[in-house]
Structure formats: structure tokens, C-alpha cells
A and B are shown apart, each in its own frame.
Chain A
């Protein structure tokens, strides 16, 4: 039987929660199934941030709301969490981390855990994180050497002394953890496949590299910035020119310039930054210039909740830019798809000469999970750039897609224009040319659907009820389908929310009851489904408080509307 434990570490920004998370997820992954996610406040130091580490004896992909073991790391780390506790939750912490009123009010099972004191005994308060790592590893009966190896890998560059001291601190925690008697336990699975531990950010970064990205210009904005940092770090090794732009307007114009000259460019941002890019999106539309933009969603409007999550910008990317022109929107929900869709985005942009958006969100980008190892191939590196002839016409309308040349490659000139233009790229105000050129651009919409990224059906093929989600709800909806007793329900995981091919209607025709789940308040994708496919949606399950869906509420809210 599938069983899981939720361990939450609650501390403040700057306390090194991420380091413990990375250690634990790597270590636990060797002997358990594991999924971690974090929620942080918009500040550099202090506040209250938590990391959830979910451990299981079967594959898991979702956030669980209920905490089994809570580790408090300071006085300020309890007050936001009582809602997530049950009568069985064990709370670890120093004596004064919870007030006596709270202890009584919530009837807490407190386990005194003097981390600061232990760290001092180990020789340095900086060892606290390593002791905690050891403690949880011991508690869960991990093989001790796993921790040793990870510590060595991490601290190697800082010398043997550092490695040994940390291993001792780990052992100290490990002993204590081993001796702790857990009231709720899970069986270790017999074996766990060898997984790659990865988060959404890294998946996108690797996918972009496999898709040939060699240029990135962006302005920092959470949660879109990590992809910029990832590619900047890989820049020299892979030949990626990373430049921090002065603003998002510059960023996308630079990316467009880079594509025009033959590069594969990416801009990464969040909703607010993307709003500034929209004029350039329209520029890519009329110039038939490829562009790839990663839009990492967070709750708006305006600054909203900067470090939280939402799927509120689907309409923004679908309608961004003045005038009418085709585009593609991809939304990864599975870690593998972070790689695959990012790779594909560059190829699609090049092939169809349209802007392509990768729409992700904070929760998906910053959650870490286990991915079955696989290799990427070079199919998406295929270039559609042609060598120009002397009389080259950039907007040759013989075919819907005009062969795209780049300056300096061949005998011709590459004349691209944001004004309406004739085949050669010169400004025109000829109405007939306008109509023909506009229709040529818009005709790409039907063409690009030939490469529609098919949705994936999870659950029985002969379903009667259908749950639909796009992007980051994948984990929680997949887990729901895998664990529900309701046998006539399947989940349709949509990876390309726009545009949609009419053939997709068949998924809906089969269903007697359609439920769409999305993290926004107005059901943006539901509306697109109606507009594009004219299908009936019976129920919308929406969430917009800034937190991702958790498995308990999906169980509850989906059950409520299923027949």
C-alpha cells in the first residue's frame, strides 16, 4: 500500500534550508521515493520559510498538506503552521520555540531537539544543518554511508578537514535519529530505481541547451530568474551568451535581434516582466522572427505575491501583443517535459517563425522530484536557416513559411520590417499586399498544429469522467488518479494549452462529466477550451491563494464533483 511521510523544516531565509533540502532529497532518493517543495517569503533574510520533504514507498509527485514531522528551527517558525498539524504530528524544536500557550492550545507532541546546543558540541554552530541532515537520515533508517558520500562530494573542494568534520556532525545526528522511535513509519521499498533528482528550473535549463539555446537576455524577476542564472553558469562551457538586460523591453528585443542574426535566443521572466515585453511579442509576429520566452507565473495583478505560485498568466501569453498573429504556448507539468518542451520550443520557433512561450510557475520550477534517467538527442537542433541567393526575398509568399535567411550568410540581404511589408521586406501601404501578407502569417496557425504537442491521458482509456489540467497540476492530478477508488475517471494532462487542434474534442466527447482543475480564479484554460473546441466543462476547480494544490484538497474537491 502506498504510504508517505511528510517532514517539514521550518526556519528563516538565509538559514540554509535549501542545502538541507538538497542533501536530504539526494540521500533519500537512494532508498525511498521522494518529492520536495518549498514556500518562501519575499525577503533575503528572516521571515518564515518552509521546506516540505515527502517520503514514500511508492512514486509520489505532489505536495501533501498534513505534516507528520515538523522541525522548528527558530522561534518564529511555528505560528504559520498549526493548520497543517494533526493530533499525531510530532514537533521537534528547542524548548522556547513554541510558547506555552501554543503548546496547550494545540496539544502538541513536542520533542525537544536542541540543535544549537548539539552544533556547539560538534564544534561549530554551522554544523547545525549537517546534524539535522544526519538526524532525519537516521530516523528514516537510511544507510549511513549515503550521507558520508554526499558530504564528501559537496565539501571536497574545501579540504579533507571540512569533509571529516561534517561527516562527524552527520554521524552525531544520525545516532540520535536512529534512537528516536517514530510513532508513524513507512516501510522502505525493496528497491528504488536510480533516479535523477531535478527541479523544474534545471529541467528547463537542460532542455534549452538541448534545444540549441546560445543566447539569453533577461531582466531578473522571480521566479523566472533561476533559468537565467543556470544558463549564465553554463555559458562558457556551452557557448551561451548570457546578458542581463536593462529592462524586459530590451531583453525581448535583444532576443529577437539574436534570432534574426542566426542565434537561438531565450528570454526568461515572470508576468510583470512579460507585460513589458508584449510589444516585442507583436514585433516577432509581424517580422516572422522566431522568439522563445519563458514566463514563470506567480500571483498578480502587478507585484502580487512575488514568491508564490499561480497559473494566472495563460490569457496574458495567449493574447499578448497588439494585432493578430499566431503563437505557441507550452506548459510543462512533468519534469521530463521541462526538458522536452524547452528543447522543442526552439525548434518550433525556428520551424514556424513564431513566438513560442514556455509557461511554468513558481511551484513547478522550485519543486524537486525524481526523474527516470533518459538521454536527449539532437533532433531539435535541426536548423531551418537557409543560405541566401542574390535576389533573396525574406517574405517570399510562394509558401506559407518563407525560407529564413540571416545576414552575412549568402549573397542576399535579409530585410525584416515591423511595418507591413512586401515580399522583399520593404515598407508598403498597398492594401492588397497587406491582406496577402496578413493571411500568410495567420495561415501558420493551422500549419503549426501539425506539430501539436499531444496531451497525455493518465488512467483508464474507457473513462466516463475526465479531469483536465495543464502544466504544473500534473503531479497532484496524477497522484490522485493513481490513488483514487473511483475507477471510471481519467486525467488529461495538457502540455500545449494553445492553440488547440479540433481533434482534441474526442477526449471530451467520451466523458459524461468534465472537471477542469487550474490555479487561477477565472478558469482561464476552461474558457480557452470552450473558445477553441466548443466543449462542455461541467465543473471548475480553482485555487488562487498563492499556494499550489495539495493532494488532500484534490481528493476532496474532485470527489465532490465526480458522479
Chain B
């Protein structure tokens, strides 16, 4: 048995054939290969089938509100920068309900990995359109097909100055694992948008569809090349997988924040000097 997995049988609430299963494998492999101490890893998630992932990985987690996984993760990381923090959720959770937190945490550049399951549909609420649903996709609400422009998370993250922008597809467990490892190792905010099929509700963007429409970047791609990354992000016909962009001299939130400028001790470990407080009362 590997670390981060359970000794006992667990009851998993995903549909048979769900893309979450191979992704779970990739995540557990990544954490093991990085040789992380499970007690130092924290997941923060919102609500949805994707956001249940932390339930099935043996580590600490805060399974909070729909859309707010990133806010909680950012705070955990900033009060104790020694922890490895992963925010995880689906496309509705992170790009819809949590869209404002996505935008502003890209600006903050917190040192955490942001894993977004992107199956272009709502699963747990039963088949409504998601922010990333392609135009024309017939859903349980957009019954004649989606008519709104889909959100492009890669281009949006890049435009906001994200320091690590990557995409993976659960059809390749190894490479997805590598992407997650790189995201965790990145110093700063690292988003990995993860394509995977929703076998129950999305009959268009199937396993085969993702396979046919995506390709893995090879070593000829320079992730430092911002313009090239943006070109790749804007190409919605041939979807590039891999690290689209990684900024070299990224300064994460905790290092930029004045409270850590002089003193690197996590704020939760600092002792309050009551005598100094009494100075304020003089």
C-alpha cells in the first residue's frame, strides 16, 4: 500500500468509468513520488463530485463550501507556509461559483497547487451547463444547446499573470501525475486544468473526444515563452496539454507579504508579547 491511500476498502461516490478514478491514481502517485509526509499535506475543496477527491486520499482536508476551496487553501498556506496545500474542485466549483476567488488568487500567487477537474458539465447537480461547456452542448437546462461563450481558464489565468499554467488529460495517468508533481513543486500559484470525461452527463466531450482534440507538448515547447503559451491557450481546436507556462522568478504570496519580510516563522508559531500590547494602552 502506498502512502495517502487507505488500508481499508472505501466507498467512492463516483460513477463507474468516471475520469476522477484515474486522476485519484495520478494524485496519489505524485504525492508518493515527491516523498511528501502525509501529515504535512492539506487538501481544500468545495462541493461537487470532483471536490469529493480529498475524502478518498488519506491526508488532512477541509471540505468546505461550493466555490470557496481556493480561499480556504490560500489562508491555510499563508498562516503556515510549511504545509503543502492543494486546492481541488470541478469546473463549476472553481470557475463558476468560485470565479472571483480564481481571479484574485492568481493575482496573489499563493504557493499552492490548484487542481481543477474540467469535464465541461455539472455532474452532482445532474447535467447542467458549466462555465466551460462548449457552445451547442445540449444539457438539462440549456436544452437546445449552450449559447454562451465558454470560459477559457488557461487564457484567463495567463492574462492575470499566473506563474504556472498547465493542463492535463486523465487518459494519460503518468503524464497527469507529472503535471501534478510540477504544480506542487512550483513556487507560487499553479493551476492544472484537468480534462476528463463525465460518462453520465456529457455525451459530446467523451474520452475519445478529448483524445482526438488534445496533444501533449513536447520538449520543443519553452514554458518560459509567455506569448507562445498564450497562443496555445487561445487555440480551442487543438488543445495543448502539459506546462503551457511557468514563470521562473515567481515570488509567492507569503514571501511578498510584509508579515514574512523579516521574520520567516509561520505566524501560527509566533508568540504574542502581551507586554507589547500593553504599550498600546499607555
Contact = CB atoms under 8 A, between A and B. Distances in A.
A279 B281 CA distance: 36
B118 interface: no
B74 A375 contact: no
A426 B272 CA distance: 34
A217 interface: yes
- Nearest 10 pairs of A and B residues by beta carbon: A257-B75, A257-B72, A246-B104, A407-B60, A262-B268, A253-B71, A254-B75, A263-B79, A253-B68, A239-B270
Interface centre among B259, B263, B268 (most CB of A within 10 A): B268
A292 to B, nearest CB: 14
Interface stretch (B16-24, B37-45, B193-201): B37-45
A283 B64 contact: yes
Interface stretch (A8-16, A119-127, A414-422): A414-422
A236 B274 contact: no
Contacts of B267: 214-215, 239-241, 263
Contact of A256 (B64, B268, B273, B280): B64
Contact of A411 (B39, B42, B79, B258): B39
A241 B52 contact: no
Interface in A346-395: 373-378, 381
B282 A196 contact: yes
Contact of A241 (B60, B72, B259, B278): B259
Contacts of A411: 39
B281 A413 contact: no
Interface residues of A, number: 61
Contacts of A253: 64-65, 68, 71-72, 75
Given A240-B259, A245-B104, A254-B72, 18 more contacts: A209-B280, A236-B258, A236-B259, A239-B265, A253-B71, A255-B75, A261-B76, A261-B83, A279-B65, A283-B64, A378-B274, A407-B40, A408-B39, A408-B80, A413-B39, A413-B60, A418-B63, A427-B13
A468 interface: no
B75 A265 contact: yes
B274 A381 contact: yes
A193 B91 CA distance: 63
A416 B71 CA distance: 15
B39 A260 contact: no
B1 interface: no
A347 to B, nearest CB: 12
Interface string B80-93: 10110000000000
A280 interface: yes
B140 interface: no
Interface in B120-144: none
Contact of A258 (B47, B75, B265, B280): B75
A215 B79 CA distance: 8
A404 B38 CA distance: 19
What DSSP secondary structure best describes chain A's contact surface? mixed
11 contacts: A210-B272, A239-B259, A253-B71, A257-B72, A257-B75, A260-B72, A262-B80, A407-B42, A416-B62, A426-B55, A427-B52
Interface centre among B52, B100, B258, B267 (most CB of A within 10 A): B267
B59 interface: yes
B263 A239 contact: yes
Given A210-B274, A414-B60, A261 B79 contact: yes
B28 interface: no
A381 B263 CA distance: 21
Contacts of A243: 78, 257
A241 B76 contact: no
Interface string A273-301: 00000011001000100000000000000
Interface string B83-111: 10000000000000000110110000000
A412 B42 CA distance: 12
A119 B209 CA distance: 78
Given A250-B68, A280-B68, A408-B40, A378 B272 contact: yes
Interface of B: 13, 38-40, 42, 44, 47, 52, 54-55, 58-65, 68, 71-76, 78-80, 82-83, 100-101, 103-104, 257-259, 261-263, 265, 267-268, 270, 272-274, 276-278, 280-282
A408 B65 contact: no
Contacts of B13: 427
B39 A214 contact: no
B12 to A, nearest CB: 11
A136 interface: no
Contacts of B261: 236
Contact of B76 (A283, A374, A407, A410): A407
A306 interface: no
Contacts of B276: 237-238
Given A263-B268, A287-B62, A411-B39, A247 B100 contact: yes
A257 B73 contact: yes
Contact of A235 (B68, B73, B259, B265): B259
B282 A373 contact: yes
Nearest to A202: B280
B226 to A, nearest CB: 24
Nearest to B261: A236
Contacts of A93: none
A373 B281 contact: yes
Interface in A533-562: none
Contacts of B72: 253-254, 256-257, 260
B104 A250 contact: yes
Nearest to B80: A261
A318 interface: no
A249 interface: yes
A445 B42 CA distance: 30
Contacts of B78: 241, 243, 258
Contacts of B71: 245, 249-250, 253-254, 257
B255 to A, nearest CB: 13
A200 interface: no
A214 B277 contact: no
